[in-house]
Structure 1
Amino acid sequence: MSGVWPEPLPAPAAPPGPRILDIRDLRVSFPGKGWRAPRVEVLHGVSLDIRPGETVGLVGESGSGKTTIGRAVLGLAPVHSGAVEFRGERIDRASARRRRRLSQDLQVIFQDPFASLNPSIPVGETLAEPLHAQGVPGRDARRRVLDLLGRVALPADAAQRLPREFSGGQRQRIAIARALAIGPKLIVCDEPVSALDLTTQRTVLDLLLEIQEQTGVAYLFVSHDLSVVRYMSHRVNVIHRGVIVESGDAEQVTTAPRHPYTQRLLLSAPVADPAAQRDRRAALDRRRAEENT
């Protein structure tokens, strides 16, 4: 469900500081279908950066390449050329062992809170697993699990319950707690609220903002929804067919876009006022007609 916010929300100001993530001229390609088929390039020279404590939004429609960028940052997509640096280190060239070490500082929140948690393992064990992997003793891990549950506004007895006993919003809170377990510096948020209803979306987004204020964690926030991206982000990058077509301050990009593709995204976004919604649809239909002539 796309977010429809009741009023315009000002984008936050970007924090100063050095880059924590630096992506330069990133190109990602996958093998083509069939024998001897050429490789298919899905990212064409993408560049972006993130500072500590900053949220950089990455917005585009399905198939635009936005999730592939997140996967490349996490070491899950093959980098054909370019560079991905995290805290000054080339993670696109890092060994599997080094990537495991980097996982302490680099985490992910997936789109589907129903599929991202093991249904047969109690929540407490899910949260304790990355702590045990880092050598945290059992008593300290249990204390940390209770602290994590409190941070995402879940009761202590949630540790003994299975994921199926929670709502979608509560499961996403558990996924956020798991991402926070070992104190990351950067979290890739891959459409973290798109599977939730509007009220739950706002609650989860506010929780992410509160955690950022408390911990200074940075977010790469991937979404197809301009209103959500504006609410969360300091800066925004718009991606279309594997190319960043517009980037800049979140408020400027999401309210007065310069590129035709971003303008179409803005016109496609739903608004609460029915009259304004009709005007947007009419403007979008006119633009599509012009582009097809």
Structure 2
Amino acid sequence: MTSADSAATDPAAPLLEVTDLDVIYPGGRGRSPFHALRTVSLDVRPGETVGLVGESGSGKTTLGRAVLGLAPVSGGSIRFDGQDISRLDRRGRRALAKDIQVVFQDPYSSLNPSMTIGDILTEPLTANGVAAGDAASRVGGLLERVHLPADAAARLPREFSGGQRQRIAIARALALSPRLIVADEAVSALDLSTQAKVLELFIEIQEATGVAYLFITHDLAVVRHVSHRVAVLYHGEIVEQGETAAVTGDPEHPYTQRLFMAAPVPDPDRQEQRRAERRRLLAIQAEQDAQAGAGLGAL
């Protein structure tokens, strides 16, 4: 039995396995190459949500893009269900689309404004060989899954709110019954009340279908709500990972602590204490970064 066969038959085996991943973007016009990810390793099991959290520029979106085949893999490997997908050609990526889908951040730009919702939802089906009639008949079920009325199929994206558009984007991702969805800041463009409803929808869909999520966000509160496990990225490296309760309740790394302290709380006194603690942690991190830079310069 091959390793891919073993992974496919073992329910405890990771569905997605990222090992020692490096992503280096080439430089140009006098600029040096940019090392976006360094020896990153994580895995996602079937039916599990792994939250990938970090500030802007930490590399979290680059990791999601690498999984989707949209960022160059310079070293290490990405395996899906035991198969190395690190460097698939275009044909291989098309074949993988039925198993790996994505929900992007912006519900306004991710939907074609000139297509009806019905056409948007049937497009991935027909592109993967489903007959047009069969594809059209599935639209009602997809809309029902994300709690939108069946008559939404005849309307255009501009007729919907941001939260409703993100539900449509989720329905499109579900069209091919994927096993993994990469959700890249999927609720960050929504107001807080809409965020909560869409997060509950993600959880409901997972419980009903068993789909796994790689949930990319800068918000520890979002990670705490939806994730089983958490990985924290800082400057292209994972600095902490583990069960959600442990990482968000008692973080060990100063950067994770800093992210936690950045989350607002309603009590003004506590908020000021958290700001003071965050400033202290920032000073510690700046000193550590300076020491690391000095060490590299000496090599």
Normalising by the residue count of structure 1, what TM-score does the alignment of the two structures yield?
0.92
Match of residue 13 from structure 1: none
Cα distance in 1 for partners of 2:236, 2:247 equals 18
For residues 82-101 of structure 1, the aligned pairs below 5 Å read 82-101=76-95
Q: Does 1:133 align with 2:137?
A: no
- Identify the match of residue 110 of structure 1 among 97, 104, 113: 104
Three-state SS of the structure 2 residue aligned to 1:144 is: helix
- Identify the match of residue 21 of structure 1 among 16, 20, 29: 16
- Identify the match of residue 53 of structure 1 among 47, 72, 89: 47
Which has the larger displacement, 266-275 or 243-252? 266-275
Offset of 1:190 from its aligned partner?
A: 0.1
Q: Does 1:222 align with 2:208?
A: no
Gaps of 5+ in 1: 1-15
Cα distance in 2 for partners of 1:46, 1:90 equals 16
Match of residue 168 from structure 1: 162
The one-letter amino acid paired with 1:25 is: D
1:209-262 alpha-carbon deviations (Å, 9 max, x no partner): 000000000000000000100111000000000000000000110110000110
Q: Is the 8 A contact 2:254 2:281 kept in 1?
A: no
The one-letter amino acid paired with 2:270 is: A
Match of residue 204 from structure 1: 198
Q: Is the 8 A contact 2:22 2:38 kept in 1?
A: yes
Match of residue 258 from structure 1: 252
1:34–1:179: structure 2 CA closer, same or farther, 3 Å change rule? same
Q: Is the 8 A contact 2:261 2:274 kept in 1?
A: yes
Aligned-residue Cα RMSD (Å) equals 1.3
Gaps of 5+ in 2: 1-10, 288-299
> How many percent of aligned residue pairs carry the same amino acid?
61
Cα distance in 1 for partners of 2:243, 2:44 equals 13
Cα distance in 2 for partners of 1:136, 1:88 equals 27
Match of residue 147 from structure 1: 141
The one-letter amino acid paired with 1:284 is: R
Q: Which has the higher helix share?
A: 2
Cα distance in 2 for partners of 1:70, 1:190 equals 7
- Identify the match of residue 270 of structure 2 among 266, 273, 276: 276
Q: Does 1:44 align with 2:38?
A: yes
How many residues are matched?
A: 277
